[in-house]
Structure 1
Amino acid sequence: MISDTHGIVYDAERIIKKYEKNVQMCIHLGDLVKDAVYLQNRFPNLKFEIVRGNNDFTKDFPSEQVIELGSKKILITHGHMYSVKSTYDLIVNHAKAFRVDACFFGHTHQQEEFYSDGILFLNPGSLAFSRDGSKTFAIAEVTPYGVVAYLEKV
């Protein structure tokens, strides 16, 4: 899972190439969807789920969606519509309303993992402009018991 590539796809390409045979899909959480489309074309055998962010001015992709992986439901969104830079209250309440097992979001350019009411909230950070200077992404594994997160750095 990646987010906030902002036109810089070199590291995303390297990561996807490294993991493509061991993952079911790549999730791009917005900013920029054109990067996700490029990556999707570069890796046509890999399933992609893409949502748009605050710097994406196309209506070709949803701003959020609920995907099902195995028996788990996951809300994917960029996060800007829920003011995640200042509070997690809105996104937590939104995810609870959807009764999901996990919520993946971006926008803050900082890796984050936390639980609220049994829901995993996961932000992969940014491969382009991480707040702490490191390039980050995340891997999520869906198990019968829940969704497990692995926060990674390039």
Structure 2
Amino acid sequence: MSKVLVVSDSHGLTKELETIRERHLSDVDLMIHCGDSQLDPDHPALTGYFTVGGNCDFGGFPQELVSNFAGKKFFITHGHRYSVKTSLMNLKYKAEEVGADIVCFGHSHVLGAEVVGGTLFLNPGSIRLPRERIEKTYVILDLNGDKVEMSVFDMEGHKIPKLSHQFVLGKDS
């Protein structure tokens, strides 16, 4: 089983990114930042994070990344170029184009996850300015074949059980 930590929209926070990294360094295999860090790409707080640029980021970040990890293809983007605040349709087309199993994005600051057309679309919310909930959140995915267990955490590192969910990739669930 492999674990992936996903965070987004930290908007200038540094200590919090470092705390999350140190808290989970020994139990996750990959760390993703979905953009709007508002930091330089070489900032120490981003060390260890696979990071894309958001609409509030400047200089040096890739706008999107495609990565194979644990037998799954990840597509990572901030989401602003795909109008994710209004619809997942554009992002869905891009996911199909690149053959993604899991799409990680941010931008809306709204925690959410759903399987569409067999692909998991995940927004971890924001650790700075969450919308539609009070908790500042990030997510850890446990990958086990086509099963994905999503655990949602608050900034203190507490798992929020009512927000955890299991998904099956390859079919809508």
Q: Taking structure 2 as the reference length, what is the TM-score of the superposition?
A: 0.79
Distance in structure 1 (CA, Å) of the matches to 2:122 and 2:14: 21
Q: Is the 8 A contact 1:7 1:35 kept in 2?
A: no
- Trace 1:54-73 onto structure 2 (pairs within 5 A): 54-58=55-59, 60-73=60-73
Q: Going by fraction, where is helix more abundant, 1 or 2?
A: 1
Please report how far the alpha carbon of residue 147 of structure 1 lies from its aligned counterpart in structure 2 after TM superposition: 3.8
Cα deviation per residue 1:35-60 (whole Å; 9 max; x = unaligned)? Answer: 7632244xxxxx431100000121x1
Paired position in structure 1 for 2:31 = 26
- RMSD (CA atoms): 1.7
Cα deviation per residue 1:13-46 (whole Å; 9 max; x = unaligned)? Answer: 22221111111121111102527632244xxxxx
Cα deviation per residue 1:54-78 (whole Å; 9 max; x = unaligned)? Answer: 00121x1210011111211000000
Q: Number of matched residues? A: 148
Distance in structure 2 (CA, Å) of the matches to 1:119 and 1:32: 26
Which stretch shifts more, 62-71 or 27-36?
27-36
Q: Taking structure 1 as the reference length, what is the TM-score of the superposition?
A: 0.88
Secondary structure (helix, strand or coil) at the match of 1:17 reads: helix
Distance in structure 2 (CA, Å) of the matches to 1:40 and 1:15: 11
Could you tell me which amino acid in structure 2 is paired with residue 31 of structure 1? D
Q: Is the 8 A contact 1:138 1:149 kept in 2?
A: yes
Q: Is the 8 A contact 1:69 1:142 kept in 2?
A: no
Paired position in structure 1 for 2:115 = 115
Distance in structure 1 (CA, Å) of the matches to 2:123 and 2:97: 19
Q: Gapped runs of 5+ residues in structure 1?
A: 42-46
Paired position in structure 1 for 2:77 = 77
